[in-house]
Structure formats: C-alpha cells, structure tokens
Amino acid sequence: MINVAIIGASGYTGVELTRILCNHPEIRLTAATSRQYAGKPLAEVFPNLRGKTELICENLGLDELCERADLFFTAVPHKTAMDIVPSLLRAGKKVIDLSADFRLRDVAVYEQWYQAHSSPELINEAVYGLPELYREQIKNARLVANPGCYPTSIILGLNPLLKQGVIDPSTIIADSKSGTSGAGRAASVGSLFCEVADGFRAYKVGGSHRHIPEIEQEINALGNCASKISFTPHLLPISRGILSTVYATPIKDFKLSELTALYEDVYRDEPFVRLLPAGSSPATQYVRGSNFCDISINHDLRTNRLIVLSAIDNVVKGAAGQAIQNMNLMLGLPEITSLEGAPFFP
Amino acid sequence: MINVAIIGASGYTGVELTRILCNHPEIRLTAATSRQYAGKPLAEVFPNLRGKTELICENLGLDELCERADLFFTAVPHKTAMDIVPSLLRAGKKVIDLSADFRLRDVAVYEQWYQAHSSPELINEAVYGLPELYREQIKNARLVANPGCYPTSIILGLNPLLKQGVIDPSTIIADSKSGTSGAGRAASVGSLFCEVADGFRAYKVGGSHRHIPEIEQEINALGNCASKISFTPHLLPISRGILSTVYATPIKDFKLSELTALYEDVYRDEPFVRLLPAGSSPATQYVRGSNFCDISINHDLRTNRLIVLSAIDNVVKGAAGQAIQNMNLMLGLPEITSLEGAPFFP
Amino acid sequence: MINVAIIGASGYTGVELTRILCNHPEIRLTAATSRQYAGKPLAEVFPNLRGKTELICENLGLDELCERADLFFTAVPHKTAMDIVPSLLRAGKKVIDLSADFRLRDVAVYEQWYQAHSSPELINEAVYGLPELYREQIKNARLVANPGCYPTSIILGLNPLLKQGVIDPSTIIADSKSGTSGAGRAASVGSLFCEVADGFRAYKVGGSHRHIPEIEQEINALGNCASKISFTPHLLPISRGILSTVYATPIKDFKLSELTALYEDVYRDEPFVRLLPAGSSPATQYVRGSNFCDISINHDLRTNRLIVLSAIDNVVKGAAGQAIQNMNLMLGLPEITSLEGAPFFP
Amino acid sequence: MINVAIIGASGYTGVELTRILCNHPEIRLTAATSRQYAGKPLAEVFPNLRGKTELICENLGLDELCERADLFFTAVPHKTAMDIVPSLLRAGKKVIDLSADFRLRDVAVYEQWYQAHSSPELINEAVYGLPELYREQIKNARLVANPGCYPTSIILGLNPLLKQGVIDPSTIIADSKSGTSGAGRAASVGSLFCEVADGFRAYKVGGSHRHIPEIEQEINALGNCASKISFTPHLLPISRGILSTVYATPIKDFKLSELTALYEDVYRDEPFVRLLPAGSSPATQYVRGSNFCDISINHDLRTNRLIVLSAIDNVVKGAAGQAIQNMNLMLGLPEITSLEGAPFFP
C-alpha cells in the first residue's frame, strides 16, 4: 500500500479524488487538508463519503504532511500550489499538481496570464499530465502538472489532426461548454442554483480565459506551429461534463474515412478514449462519472470545415480521474486501476 | 375585437400563443384545433391555462375554421401547412405560418431540404416574418412566414455586421444551443427527462440542419452575397432558450466602439432587441418568457475574430411571441401589445 | 400614478416585485434600495430587467425614502423590518412588509421563535395579508404583514376544511417542498447549483421551522382551536414553486362531492385560487410565474385520511405577487391589476 | 465465472444492471434480451456502455436463454414476468425478478391490485429480496422477488421501530418523492423533459399506488399487525433518487437516544445502511449511484410524532443494485461485490 495525501480536499476535486481512491486496491489515503474544515470529518463535509473514509480534515504543516505520504495531490488554487510544491519535491515526494502553476513551459507566458512565478526552475521538470501525449515522461516524473479540463477535451479532440498536419491551426475555434462544478465550491452569487439553473451563458468571451495559453502550447507542439486559437467557454446548467465543439479548416484533401482511420490509429490502445462511429455524437451524459473522453470527427462538405466533438466529465478526466491515471503511471500500477467504472446513465 | 384561431394548438407553440393571447386586449381567441385532443378543454391539455381560457380543442374542417376567425396561426408541421394555408388565403384570411413551408424564397432550395412544394406560387407572396428586417412588408402581408428559432437568433445577431459589410460572410460559424422545447411535444425516447437532464450534446452536426438554408437566405440578402455558413445545433437541458455564439472574420479595420455604435444605430428603435454593454454577455435566463433578443458584440484581438452572442426564448421570440408581434403589425395594432412582460428571473 | 418604493430590492423578491410592477398601469416605481449594490442600475443587478426599469439601487435614509413614495414594500430580513416600519408609518406611509416581523399576533410567540420585538404595539394593527381570509381588513390597513410562502400554500389548502370543522386540527401533517429561490440570494455553499441540482432533501425536520407558529396561528383561528401541527420543509431542485401535501383525519362523515362543493363555495369568487377537478393534481410547473394557488382535495378511503394538495409559485403568490395583490387592495385598485398573466409552461 | 443474463435489458434497470455487472469479477454477462432493439449492440442503445460490453440485444426464446446462463434477471413488466419465470425455474435456473409478480405473498391481494396470477404456486416459494430482512432465505432461494423502490426506502426506514413496537402502525404516513427514472424509458408525453423539468407534482394520490400492498405486507409482518398506511408518491425533476418522509405516532415513551441506539443495533452490520447523526438529513444526492440507504430518525416533541427520513438511489438500491446484492447472496459471493462504489457528488 502506498500512502497518498490530498492537499486541499474540500473542493469538488477533493471529494472526487477521495471517491475514486477510497476503492483503490494499492493506495491508502492518509491525509486530507483543509483550512476551512480543519477538525471535521471529510465525510461530514461531503456526506456521500460516509462509510467510505474516516479521514479528518486537517490543517497540516509541510513537515507533518511529508511524514504522512509519499505522493501528493495538490488541489489548491494557482499561486498557492507553487508555494507548496517545491518543498514536497525537496522532501523526495512525488506530486500531481491540479493547479495551473506548472502547466505552461514558458514562464513568460505564465506570468503574462497569471502572475510572477516563484519556482520557474521547476517548470522545465514538470510533465504535462496528459497520458495520451506524455505517457512515458509521466512514468518517470516527480512532478506532474495535471491538465485543465477544457484543454483536456480540446487537445484530445484535435491531436490526430495536428499530428498529421491535416488542418490549419490558425483556423481553430473551440466552442466549449462546461458544467458548473468547474466553477468550484466557493460561495458566490454567480454559482447559486437560481442563477445557473434553467439557463445558459458564455463567459470570458473574446480570448481572455486562462486555459487559452495551455491549449495553444499543446496545439503548437503537436502541429509544430505558433498559432493562436479562438476559445469561448460557456456555463451549462449541469454539475458535471464538458462538451467541446471544435472547428478547423483542412489544408489537405482527404476522405472522412481516412480521418476516421487516423483517429483509430492514434487512439487504438488508449484505455480512456472512445471514438464514436459516424452519425453518433458525444454527450456529456454518456461519460458522466467516468474517465472516458468520447470523440467524433465530422466533415461539413458544404463549407469544407472539420468539426470535432469531444466530451469528458470535467471532474474525472478533466481533473481527479486524470490525476489518478497519472498517479497510477507514476507508481508503476496498471493505468486503469480504480478508473474502470462505466459512466452513469441516466 | 378581432377573431383569431390557432390551427395545431396542442404543441408548445400552441400553449404559448394561448398564454400570450388570452391577455391581449384586442384579440378574441375563437378556436384551437387539435386532432389528438379533440373534445378536450385546452386548459386540460395544458393545466397552466386553467381559468385563462374556455377553449375546447376541436377537429375542424376549413369551412368551419373560416367562419370562426379572420386571422390564423398555423402551428402545424411543414408539409401540413402548405396544404392548409392556400385555402385560408382564398377565403380572405390572414395567416401567420409557424412552419418552414413559406420561409424559403427559392422553391428549389426548399425542395432540396424538405420535399416537393404544393403551393410554390405563394412563396413569392409570403413575407419572412422578422420585423426587424421586414416590418413594412409584414404590415401589408396576407401571409407571414414566421422565422425559425435558430435563424431568429443568428440573423438578428449578424444583421448590422452584414449590412455594413464588416465581415466576410463565408467565415461565419454559428454554434447554437437550444432548450428542449424546440424538439416539440411528441412522445419520443430522445426527449425524455432522463435522456436530456444533466446532459448536453450536439445534433445534426456537419451541415444537415434544415435551418441552414433559411439562415443563408437572410445572410446573403443582407450581405448581398452567396455564402455558405457552418451551423451546429446543440440540445440544452433547459426547457426554453437559445444562445447562439457566432464567429466571423472582419474584412475591414474598425474599433469595437464603432461596431457598438453601428449596432445601436441599427437597433435603436427596436422594441425587442436589447444591446448589452461591453463586458456583459447574454444569458437565456435573462430573456426567459419574453420577446427580447439580447445581443453582445465582442472582438477577440488575439485572433482578430468577431464573436456575436445572441439569446432569445425560443418559444417566444423564436416562435409564439414573434408570431404575435407579426400579428400586431398585420392588424395595425401597437407592435408590442401583449408582449410587454419582463423576462422571468429566477 | 401612485409612487411606490422597494426597500431591499436586490433579492429574489425585489426583482419579482419590479418585474410585476414595471407593467402596472397605476404605479410608478420611484426607489429601490440596496446597500450592497448602491449606485448600480437595478437592471444590471438583474439583467432580465434591462429596458424595463431605469431604477438605480440606492442607499437611502428614511427621510429621503419618505419623500419618494406613498407605499413601501419592505423586502428585508426580519428584525431589520421592525426597525424601519414604524418610521414609515409615522410618516403616513402605507407598508407591505415581506418579513416575518408583523405576522404573528402574539408577541410572546414571536419572541420565542425569533427574538425580542421592538415594536410590539404595531403587531395588533398589522393585518395578515392573505386576501382570501382578510380582504376587508387589508383594504383599510396601513400595515400589511405579507404571509410566508409555506403558510400561504398550507392555509389556503386547509381553509375550507377548518372553517367547516371537517377535520381534527391536531392530526394535520404538512409535508411541503419548495424551490431554491426560497433560500434567498445570499452566497452560501448550501445553495450552490452543484449542491442542490439533481438532488432532494428535507431540512429543519422535527418542528423547528419558523413558519410553524404562523401556520398554527391561522389554522387555530380558522378552526377555533389550539392545535399544534407537524411541518416538514424540503428543498426542490427547481427555482420557483411550492407544493404542500397536507394530511388530516376527518371528524365527520361526508362524501368527497360534499367537500368539493365546500371548496367551490369558499373559493368561487377568488381570482387566484383554482380548484382542480377530481383526478387532477396540482403541479408547480402549472402555476409558475403566476399568482395562482392550485388546490385539490382527495380522500384516501382505505385509511380515512384527507389529503390536500396545494401549489403556488413561492416568488409570486408566496411573496411578490401576493404583496402586489395586497397593494392593489390597499390602494382601491382592481385586485388583479398586473397579476393577470397566465402561468408559464413549459 | 458464472453466466448471467438480463431479460429485458433496454430499460433503465437493464442499463444499470449492465453498468454494475460489467466490472463484477465473478460474473460473465452472456445475454441481454430486448425485442425492440434486437440486433443492436447494447452499447448503442446506451452509449455510456461503449467499451464496457460487447453484448448484442437479442430476441431469444426460453430454450436459447437457458443455454446461455445459470442466473437470470427478469427486468420485464409485471404479468410478463410470471409467464417467463416458471420455465426458467423448471430449467433449474436461479431467478431474480424485478417485477411485482412475486412480491406479494397473498395471491388475493396481488389479484386485487394487479390481475389474475398465472403461477400462484411460486408465490410461496419466492423470497422477498430485501437482504436486511431476509438475508438467510435469499441465500437459499431459487426465486427472489426484488422489492419495489418506494417499499425499499420505507421499509428500511421503519424496520427498527416496527420490530420493537415503538409506533402505532395505523398512524404511518409515507410521503415519498422519486426521480423520473422510476417512470421507465417508454416514450410518453408525461415523462418528457419539458413536462417534468423545473416542476414537481404528486400522483396516484389517495391510496391507489400499487406499492401500497407491498409496503403493508412487510410492515404488518414486522409489526405483527394488520394495518393500512397512507402513501403519496411524488415526481421529482431529477433522474435518480427517492426520499421518503415517513410520519408515525409512538405508543411508548422513549428518549431519542434510545431510538438512535435501536437503529444502530439493528443496522450495525449492514453494509448498505448508513445511519445519520442527529441534525443530519438524508439527501438523494449523497446516495446517487450507490447501493446505500441513508436513514435518520427524528422526534417532533411539539406534536409527539416520529419522522423517519430515508434516501436511496431508486435505480441502484431500489432496483439493479439490490438485485445484484441478492445475486451475490444467492451465489455465495461476498455480498458487496461490485457494489462498493462511493456515491457520486456533485
């Protein structure tokens, strides 16, 4: 059994990490930190966990933390993460960071979109934790930067097209829709039931969402280019799920069947990518609660545009599930351990 | 008082027409037809209408219908509409048709997307019932083709840009999301609560939705061009509301403030278009139950794309409300009569 | 035109008062106070109101307020209300208080369930604002205590049975379910979309909800008794609506048709009570957005229990709509003015 | 590996049985029947199952079925079940029937609430599949009648009180609220998203729901009495979950702490019953997707009524999960196998 701890356990990522890990056969969850709920059983903060964990939320210093576990999930806001992670690494721990602090390889880009970075030296070491792209590096990593939820859906959707140079990256428009859990568990008027329910809206329109540089970094690496993309996030009146509708213009002639074959080639051995047959479309309700990413590729012959649809559960493949997938890789465990559950429907 | 009848009253458009008309000071609703519910009070089919209408659903022939009213709403499926409308017109009635049968001015286009047209001679006479574009023609029309819900949101959003030649119409991508009432009230597994709730999906991906030729007709008329657009509809887990996120590339230099002024110019006197200030985004929950169309214009400076957001209540401005707006115009009544209600929130 | 102001306009009651009043033909809304949003247009706080009101949220002293209007809605928390209302009355204003401060006629009961009362002398003067019970007194009142949402649904449901002595009041069990708008617009984790959506729970179980003394006061007045009732509130994953399922044991023999006739007798002339025919059940979605209270009476012959079902929109008949009904009465206007709208469905 | 088949796999119980069984370490799912979808992959009918099962829906005769498996889940409507089950038993198979056909031990009661019974001889043999009451009998059963969803929640909630004679059974009132999946997957207007969403209603009010005799059978067995109960089902705008609020009057003096201890005694070793501490209330969102039944016991001292709250996921503990719990018992497997998953939240 390997000892694992969650730093910042009282958000939706924390409860989902615990939900999945409490049945993991090789893992013992030994600490869950939360300043706000210190002293309170985690199963009282999240009553779904009753009977599944005895963990008490604690407010632990780094020394205490290091005694408790060998691998850490840091589920804290950006900026807070970069203050904690270096000490954990110095103590010889493995870290999967769920914040944005170590995702961007160019510190200047990070500082433009976020703020000054206090540990730029770790940026080069950190591995971007998208197993479908960086599996081998993740296996050997000390520090994995778990991808953002929107980027996960968009990058997995475009990956084969970019690798093969099928599309012009500068034509990419990603229109993404996310469930409200993506907004976190902080009390705010904008996330109240009555503000969100039975409604739909866009936000951060016009190129201002912080996931943009992350998406561009991976797109440009895959496409060997330096393009900018358009990205519009929207807020869905559901708890879990992201659907990204991604448009791009091809620069080559092809048959749709060739693209289908290309996707099958790229994703054949991926345990968590499901390619949909022609005529089927991904839906968030078909990946709910699972680590799957469902993808379909479509060609609008009238306008010669490709439309990629990609659905994930933002709390699982977009956060906690992918983090555990990374953990399994880092620990040499079978990659799918504890992530085998089929999606919930209805 | 003017006598008005609804042909096909048992769908969501029918109940909404009745809801709005039952408080209209100049209108008497004199018949509501429904084969399925013939003999049943309309307020039993739709219990929200209890105490608001005494109408009984009837299965009436055309002669009987013509004795009952002077103006008709035909809220029946396409193809059925074209079989009824000519007789009504011959009997000297005014008609607002909510089907697609008289929206497309090119009969060949209609027949390509739908089926053979039995009354092509009426196509030229019919006025496309978007008052913001065709107000004067509507006032004098015998037959108004009430626009589709998606087209209403998209055309109102793009109208100023097209008129002024700001954008390249061939770059238009409309990513639209609609509430489930748009799927109608027919019993089907795909529209069951458990299939739709807590989920999100695209449908008719890749240029196959029948609203495409309607959108293109109006866009090309406004832009004096012959472009094709990309359009992807999605299904929202809400009852009412459409949000369209529309992308286009400008072909002129401009400041955002100039575009804002352009929109204000075009829509200054429109009673049902609300332009949002910079930084605000339309949301379906802010137009719910009203005839408003909320629009914002945004410029992504990183990619030099314009993003227009447009929200309507698909049952009101996208169907019944716009039909009543057209009726008011056709009858010489104040355009906003019975449509003054503020949107519901929460 | 009569000048009217809303004190505490930034909650869900405030926005609904404004929604209804902005189309009222005899009323001019002249002030809307909010400490939190002072200086901000009300239509920016609640974007559904864009184009319907030019009001700016203000933080006004009592003197300024009194210059603005002749009738006031106090939509503030209990305790705050009792500090404001006396001054308004002294200035000769009419007041409709939406808090609990003047609902309970026994100050000792008030102080047991709430806290010390600073204006007990006004308690006797205040009229409980349920027009179906106190219409004549309301017409002449200076101060109307607008009923709670749960009490409105339960009292209207039981009124005929109690008046006629049909049931044993000590057997009353009210199992009520409310939409989340009842919890208000304060930012709190418990009201977040992700905590409420796709879920259902009871709260304040076992006789602790503060609406209990209010319900008992009116039940005991109607039944001329001194009974205690069981009341369990529940939280529905909807924005608007209350359904109360009320159980009671009869103490007389009767036929169900006699009870039906009794209800018809009592409510025949009520503009906002709709009695449902046998076999129909009230549903919150059929009163949504309206001032209606839908009621059905049922008899379980197997257990000889009566089951009354009663549905309202908690924001309308349970708060803002009923307040405006009271205002109309106090001002000698037709009672239904501005409240004629049919419920929204779907 | 034991071969297991699902007869009637295309409903919500079928997809949930498959979801849970596809990860069961001792079970091989060898057939899934569906007349409607015969020839179609089950993962196409329910796309959440993609990649989790290769099963094709088949329309199989009994002989073919018997060759495929040793244990059968019959997830078909009542009446259909009683035509299939005898043949399966004659062929030496074990059967878990999810219909109502074998739940009622008194054939006369069955025939009063349903219709004539064609296999009354099996009624005595069938074991009511509530493991918390009949674990030992289930282990040895050939035929288990899987309980109804409402009865499961109500009986588990009342069991300790009845066993100890704490309450007067004739005072029981069960006010239950269920998610829409309980209405099944048949296309019907009443289950459409737009009819259910953002709404709430009661149905089968006044003692007419067919779960009543089932609840009474078990209550009377536990309480050694012959009482009738009041039961009112309601429809929640959620997919999964039942909350039952059950009222009863005690006939003994007691302290709440004694009742708490009683519940702990009864349920101490139950793997799927979670007792909530004082002050906590069950919520459907905390059992979602799991086999748990969460229970709290409350005492209203003002009216001396007990209020039991009981929450389950109607698709899991109310149907498929409990059926698999029964299967594990019948096969001598650890009872919780494949049912260990923690509930989903949010």
> Across the strands, what pairs with D167?
D250
Asked whether the beta carbons of residue C12 and residue A194 sit closer than 8 angstroms, the reply is yes
Cα–Cα distance list, B158 to A205, B169, B245, B295, B307 (Å): 17, 10, 11, 10, 10
H or E element: which one contains B85?
helix B80-90
| Structure-derived torsion over alpha carbons of residues C14, C15, C18, C23, reported in degrees to the nearest 10 | -150
Closest residue in D to A315 (Cα) is D346
Query: Does the distance separating the beta carbons of A274 and D51 come in below 8 Å?
Result: yes
The residue ranges of DSSP E strands in A157-276, in sequence order, are 173-178, 201-202, 230-235, 242-248, 273-275
Beta bridge partners of B296: B309
Q: What is the pLDDT of residues D152-169, one digit of tens each?
A: 999 999 999 999 999 999
pLDDT for position D217? 98
CA A205, CA B309: separation in Å to the nearest integer? 9
Instruction: For residue B283, give how far its alpha carbon lies from the nearest alpha carbon of chain C (Å).
Output: 9
* Nearest Cβ partner for C309 among D198, D205, D309: D205
The token duo for D35 is 């007349």
Q: How far is A258 from chain B (nearest CA, A)?
A: 17
Contact C345 B48 (CB under 8 A): yes
Q: Are the C-beta atoms of A232 and A118 separated by less than 8 Å?
A: no
| Cβ-Cβ contacts under 8 Å, A236 against chain B | 200, 236-237
Secondary structure class of B157 (helix, strand, coil): helix
Neighbours of chain C (3+ CB pairs under 8 A): A, B, D
Query: In the predicted model, is pLDDT for residue B252 greater than 90?
Result: no
Per-residue pLDDT, D320? 98
D320, D20 Cβ separation under 8 angstroms: yes
DSSP symbol at C91: T
| H helix count then E strand count, chain D | 12, 14
Distance from CA of B18 to the nearest CA of A (A): 23
Instruction: Compare CB distances from B299 to A206, A232, A283 and report the shortest one's residue.
Output: A206
CB contact under 8 A, A188 and C191: no
H or E segment to which residue C178 belongs: strand C173-178
* C-alpha to C-alpha distance for A1 and B230, rounded to whole angstroms: 53
When pLDDT is cut at 50, 70 and 90, the band that residue B170 belongs to is very high
DSSP state of D307: E
Q: How far apart are CA B8 and CA B10, in angstroms?
A: 6
Nearest by Cα to C180 from D18, D149, A192: A192
Least CA distance to A209: which residue of chain B?
B300
The whole-number pLDDT of residue D146 equals: 98
Reported as a pLDDT band with limits 50, 70 and 90, residue C147 is very high
Whether D252 shows a pLDDT value over 90: the answer reads no
- Of C275, C269, C272, the C-alpha closest to C308 is C275
**Mean pLDDT over the full length of chain A:** 97
Residues of chain C in contact with residue D198, where contact means CB-CB under 8 angstroms, are 238-241, 285, 288, 346
- Starting at the earlier edge strand, list the strands of the sheet with B293-300: B201-202, B230-235, B173-178, B242-248, B305-312, B293-300, B273-275
Q: What percent of chain A has pLDDT over 90?
A: 99
For all residues of chain C together, what is the average pLDDT? Answer: 97
The partner residue sitting opposite D307, judged by closest CB among C177, C205, C285, is C205
Q: What is the pLDDT of residues B35-94, one digit of tens each?
A: 999 999 999 999 999 999 999 999 999 999 999 999 999 999 999 999 999 999 999 999
Model pLDDT for residues A296-306, shown as the tens digit of each residue: 999 999 999 99
Q: What percent of chain B has pLDDT over 90?
A: 99
User: Does residue C194 contact residue A239 with C-beta atoms inside 8 Å?
Assistant: yes
Catalytic, out of B57, B149, B194, B293: B149
Residues in a beta bridge with A221:
none
B185 CB neighbours in chain D (<8 A) are 189, 192, 194
Q: B337: pLDDT confidence band, cut at 50, 70 and 90?
A: very high
CATH assignment, A150-314: 3.30.360.10
Task: Note the pLDDT of residue C252.
Answer: 87
Please give the average per-residue pLDDT across D96-101, as a whole number: 98
- CB distance D239–B197 less than 8 Å? yes
Contact at CB, C185 and A185, closer than 8 angstroms:
no
pLDDT higher than threshold 90 for residue D241: yes
Q: Once rounded to an integer, what is the mean pLDDT over residues B279-304?
A: 97
Distance CA A199, CA B313 (A): 10
Token digits of residue A64: 């205490």
Q: d(Cα D317, Cα D303) in Å, to the nearest integer?
A: 32
Residue-averaged pLDDT of chain B: 97
pLDDT recorded at residue C84: 96
Please indicate whether, in this complex, the C-beta atoms of C234 and D245 are within 8 angstroms of each other.
yes
Which chain B residues are closer than 8 Å to D191 by Cβ? 192-194
Partner-chain contact D207 C300, CB within 8 Å = yes
Indicate the pLDDT class of residue A323, thresholds 50, 70 and 90. very high
Q: pLDDT averaged over chain D?
A: 97
How far D213 CA sits from the closest chain A CA (Å)?
A: 28
**Boundaries of CATH 3.30.360.10 in chain B?**
150-314
Over residues C156-192, the pLDDT tens digits come to 999 999 999 999 999 999 999 999 999 999 999 999 9
Subunit contact D187:B189, Cβ cutoff 8 A: yes
Taking the CA of residue D162 and the nearest CA in chain C, the distance in Å comes to 19
Q: Output the pLDDT for position A175.
A: 98
pLDDT one-digit tens code per residue, C294-321: 999 999 999 999 999 999 999 999 999 9
For the segment B298-315, the average pLDDT, to the nearest whole number, is 98
Residue C250's pLDDT is: 98
Full DSSP string of A111-179: HHHS---S-HHHHTT-EE--HHHHHHHHHT-SEEEPPPHHHHHHHHHHHHHHHTT-B-GGG-EEEEEE-
Q: Do C342 and B48 meet the contact criterion of CB atoms below 8 Å apart?
A: yes
Share of chain D above pLDDT 90, in %: 99
Query: pLDDT-derived band of residue C221, with 50, 70 and 90 as boundaries?
Result: very high
- Main-chain phi, psi angles of D75, to 5 degrees: -110, 55
Residues of D in contact with B188 (CB under 8 A): 187
Single out the residue of A337, A329, A324 nearest to residue A6, CA to CA: A324
Q: Do B346 and C198 lie within an 8 Å CB cutoff?
A: no
Say what the pLDDT of residue A252 is. Answer: 87
Chain A residues near residue D344 by CB distance under 8 angstroms: 19, 48, 289, 344
Catalytically annotated residues of D: 149
What is the rounded CA–CA span in Å between residue D56 and residue D29? Answer: 11
CB atoms within 10 A of CB B159: 23
D173-178 and D143-145 strand pairing: unpaired
A→C contacts (Cβ < 8 Å), by residue, are: 12, 180-181, 185, 187-189, 191-198, 237-239
Number of alpha carbons in the 13 Å side-chain half-sphere of residue A226: 0
Residue C329 has pLDDT above 90, yes or no: yes
Of C185, C195, C198, the CB nearest to A189: C185
Span(s) in chain A for CATH 3.40.50.720:
2-125
Residues of C with CB below 8 A from A239's CB?
Answer: 193-194, 197-198
Q: What is the pLDDT of residues C271-282, one digit of tens each?
A: 999 999 988 999
Predicted local distance difference test score (pLDDT) of residue B330:
98
pLDDT digits (tens, 9 = 90+) for A165-222: 999 999 999 999 999 999 999 999 999 999 999 999 999 999 999 999 999 999 999 9
Which pLDDT value is given to residue A84?
96
- Selected for mutation to probe chain A from B178, B205, B299 (highest A CB count within 10 Å) is B205
Active site residues of A: 149
pLDDT digits (tens, 9 = 90+) for D282-329: 999 999 999 999 999 999 999 999 999 999 999 999 999 999 999 999
Residues of A in contact with C193 (CB under 8 A): 180, 191-193, 195-197, 237, 239
The model's pTM is 0.98
Q: Kindly determine whether residue C48 and residue B342, on different chains, have CB atoms separated by under 8 Å.
A: yes
Q: Does domain D2-125 have CATH number 3.40.50.720?
A: yes
Nearest CA in chain B to D195: B193
Percentage of residues of chain C with pLDDT beyond 90: 99
Can you give the pLDDT at residue B273? 98
> Buried b / exposed e across D285-308, counting CB within 10 Å, b at 16+?
bbbbbbbbbbbbbbbbeebebbbb
DSSP E strand boundaries for chain A: 2-7, 27-33, 57-58, 71-74, 94-97, 127-128, 143-145, 173-178, 201-202, 230-235, 242-248, 273-275, 293-300, 305-312
CA distances from B112 to B50, B78, B119, B331 (A): 43, 14, 15, 34
Q: For the segment D133-144, what is each residue's pLDDT rounded down to a tens digit?
A: 999 999 999 999
| Confidence bin at C211 (pLDDT 50/70/90) | very high
- For residues D190 and D129, the answer to whether their CB atoms sit within 8 Å is no
- Give pLDDT, residue C290: 98
- Enumerate residues 6+ apart whose C-beta is below 8 A from D309: C202, C205, D157, D243, D244, D245, D246, D281, D282, D295, D296, D298
CA geometry: angle B14, B16, B17, nearest 5 deg: 65
What is the phi-psi region of residue D104: left when phi exceeds 0, alpha when psi lies from -120 to 50, beta otherwise? beta
Marked catalytic residue, from C22, C57, C66, C149? C149
B chain contacts of residue D185, beta-carbon cutoff 8 Å: 189, 192, 194
Comparing CA positions, the residue from C67, C107, C100 lying closest to residue C82 is C100
**What is the number of CB-based contacts under 8 A between chain B and chain C?**
92
